[in-house]
């Protein structure tokens, strides 16, 4: 297992490097990051522009710019100079990543719990009213774009707050600027309150597809020979369902969940933009606006690492869910 994990990590390194090279070229082709400075009226002195070009490494060739960025990252943990002189890319990514990861974590957790429960019940009670109901809601949330659902839910939250004359649902920001209860518990409840609507949006976006996979996988396993044999031996229905059926049915769901993490990160960008969160989504928009290659490559490097990590965890979970699977 250890050798397999090390091998997968080493294989991921060229993938990360290739993705950063591709993003570096795309950002460079998108335009000049100093365009906003050059278009000022009155225009800045030429010496100022040359100093900015030297600070950002724009006076070097593209291969040399990428090599210097890679060398600084590997040797010193430096993500490079940002277009905005006041920004430190490493600290910016760290603070914004925490905001996004707590949203993604709770969204995935809620989506998995709902998907497993409704998927199993739909499979056990196939063609029942419960099955048709969960199928309807699954297809409903699957067909709704994330940004549209986020705008719809935010509008509903604003409408509800106005009608009950109370700030029940937070619709702007990941936390309050000023707290009435400036204590540890006050900070926790404030952050949790701001997470309600965005977590519902992102959680239901993941749940919609996962519940269908769980149902289909459970139906296949329930009709398999080893489940029929377990029933013929007289084992209790709950034991057959949980130990023999659900455990094997979770393997396809594990694969789909790992693959959909990238889509959830993309959905998090849209959700954070709608609710005006200062997470990785805001950082992504800033890197596009500033045409900041270093910031964009740092953002991609962190996001790609998260996706690869989840895929590695999924591969390792296969051996836990099914003892017959062994990693050579």
Specify the CATH number for the domain of residue 137: 1.10.3720.10
- The reported pLDDT for the residue numbered 324 is 66
Q: How far is CA 103 from the centre of its chain?
A: 8
pLDDT tens figures, 244-253: 788 888 888 8
Residue 152 has pLDDT above 90, yes or no: yes
Q: What is the mean pLDDT of residues 266-290?
A: 87
Residue 27, in any domain of the structure: no
The answer to whether position 233 is within a domain reads yes
Tokens of 261: 């993490």
Residue 140 covered by a domain: yes
Answer whether residue 77 is part of any domain.
no
Evaluate whether residue 30 is within a structural domain: no
**One-letter-per-residue 3-state SS of 131-159:** HHHHHHHHHHHHHCCHHHHHHHHHHHHHH
As a whole number, the mean pLDDT across the chain is: 85
160, part of any domain? yes
Domain that holds residue 119: 96-291
Residue 300 lies in a domain: no
Q: Read off the pLDDT of each residue in 36-60 and give the average, rounded to a whole number.
A: 86
Other CB atoms within a 10 A radius of the CB of residue 6 amount to: 10
CA dist 27 and 291 (Å) reads 6
Q: Residues near 169 by Cβ (< 8 Å), separated by ≥ 6?
A: 157, 160, 161, 193, 196, 197
Number of structural domains (the chain) is 1
User: pLDDT tens for residues 219-240?
Assistant: 988 888 878 888 788 878 788 8
Residue 38 has a pLDDT of 84
Torsion angle, alpha carbons of 199, 202, 204, 208, to 10:
-160
Give the C-alpha separation, 253 to 255, whole Å. Answer: 5
Q: Could you tell me if residue 321 is inside a domain?
A: no
CA distance linking residue 123 with residue 45, whole number of Å? 71
Place 45 in a pLDDT band, splitting at 50, 70 and 90. Answer: confident
């Amino acid at each position: 297992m250890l050798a397999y994990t090390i091998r997968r990590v080493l294989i991921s390194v060229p993938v990360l490097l290739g993705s950063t090279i591709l993003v570096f070229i795309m950002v460079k082709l998108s335009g000049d990051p100093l365009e906003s400075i050059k278009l000022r009226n009155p225009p800045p002195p030429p010496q100022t522009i040359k100093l900015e070009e030297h600070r950002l490494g724009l006076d070097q060739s593209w291969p040399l710019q990428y090599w210097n960025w890679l060398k600084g990252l590997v040797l010193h943990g430096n993500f490079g100079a940002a277009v905005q002189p006041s920004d430190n890319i490493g600290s910016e990514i760290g603070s914004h990543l925490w905001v996004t990861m707590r949203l993604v974590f709770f969204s995935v957790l809620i989506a998995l719990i709902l998907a497993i429960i409704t998927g199993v019940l739909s499979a056990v009670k196939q063609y029942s009213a419960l099955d048709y109901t969960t199928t309807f809601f699954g297809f409903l949330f699957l067909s709704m774009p994330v940004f549209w659902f986020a705008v719809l839910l935010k509008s509903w939250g604003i409408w509800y707050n106005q009608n009950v004359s109370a700030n029940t649902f937070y619709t702007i920001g990941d936390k309050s600027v000023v707290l009435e209860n400036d204590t540890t518990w006050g900070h926790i409840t404030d952050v949790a309150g701001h997470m309600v609507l965005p977590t519902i949006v992102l959680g239901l976006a993941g749940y919609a597809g996962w519940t269908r996979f769980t149902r289909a996988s459970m139906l296949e396993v329930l009709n398999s020979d080893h489940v029929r044999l377990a029933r013929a031996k007289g084992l209790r229905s709950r034991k057959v369902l949980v130990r023999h059926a659900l455990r094997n049915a979770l393997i396809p769901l594990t694969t789909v969940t790992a693959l959909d993490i990238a889509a959830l990160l993309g959905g998090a960008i849209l959700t954070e933009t709608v609710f005006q969160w200062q997470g990785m989504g805001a950082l992504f928009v800033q890197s596009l606006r500033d045409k900041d290659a270093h910031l964009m490559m740092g953002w991609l490097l962190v996001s790609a690492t998260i996706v690869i990590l989840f895929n590695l965890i999924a591969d390792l979970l296969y051996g836990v869910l099914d003892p017959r699977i062994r990693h050579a």
